[in-house]
Chain A
Amino acid sequence: DTGVSQDPRHKITKRGQNVTFRCDPISEHNRLYWYRQTLGQGPEFLTYFQNEAQLEKSRLLSDRFSAERPKGSFSTLEIQRTEQGDSAMYLCASSAQGEEDTQYFGPGTRLTVL
């Protein structure tokens, strides 16, 4: 069983550009989560999906962020008009309903906004 995969692993962009990240969860995991982590801090929750439904979104998430999971499999996270403060590691995790909420993380996408 392969783990969670994320693409790209690294992204460098200029301020004001749009970026999109992809996450492929562990197969048959119906819950998918996005987190953001900055240096010296623990991951911070952004949003989560159960199947294709986005069930929760952090109040800290600005309108420039949007996430989708159109077929209940992979998910994308888009950041529009990037700002330097968006520089962080973006982590995706997945879990299976009924497995005590255990979340497994992908390798992350490191975003640098110049």
Chain B
Amino acid sequence: QKEVEQNSGPLSVPEGAIASLNCTYSDRGSQSFFWYRQYSGKSPELIMSIYSNGDKEDGRFTAQLNKASQYVSLLIRDSQPSDSATYLCAVIMDSSYKLIFGSGTRLLVRP
């Protein structure tokens, strides 16, 4: 079992819709959770971080964390074609500072 799992996609949504990206993780003791966006050929760019159960909103992005279910999600409202990218979920587990990444979900926003 992978430590951080994501559906590889592609997830295809029409412009203006809500895109929902999901991630599960294996280490119940994990404390820090991140979403990165990665365009093809580029490096990961931080979108959101979340540390407590519940929702955290930043502009069109909302991160949701449920530690009991070991589940973290990212909602993108009013999706734009420029949001088309791979979204990487990353978790910091135990006492280490290293990020453990999922394989990413490719999002395609259709004009």
Contacts and interface: CB of A to CB of B under 8 A. Distances in A.
A95 B39 CA distance: 22
Contacts of B96: 56
B101 A42 contact: yes
A104 interface: yes
Interface residues of A, number: 24
Interface stretch (A14-22, A43-51, A67-75, A77-85): A43-51
B103 A42 contact: yes
Q: Which secondary structure characterizes the binding site on chain A?
A: strand
Which range contains the number of B residues in contact with the other chain? 20 to 34
A100 B97 CA distance: 10
A48 B103 contact: no
Interface string B80-95: 0000000010101000
B26 interface: no
B103 A40 contact: yes
Given A40-B103, A44-B101, A48-B98, A91 B32 contact: no
A107 B99 CA distance: 17
Interface string A82-105: 000000010101010000111111
Interface of B: 4, 8, 32, 34, 36, 42-46, 49, 51, 88, 90, 92, 96-104
Given A48-B98, A100-B49, A101-B97, A42 B90 contact: yes
Given A107-B43, A108-B43, A101 B32 contact: yes
Nearest to A103: B99
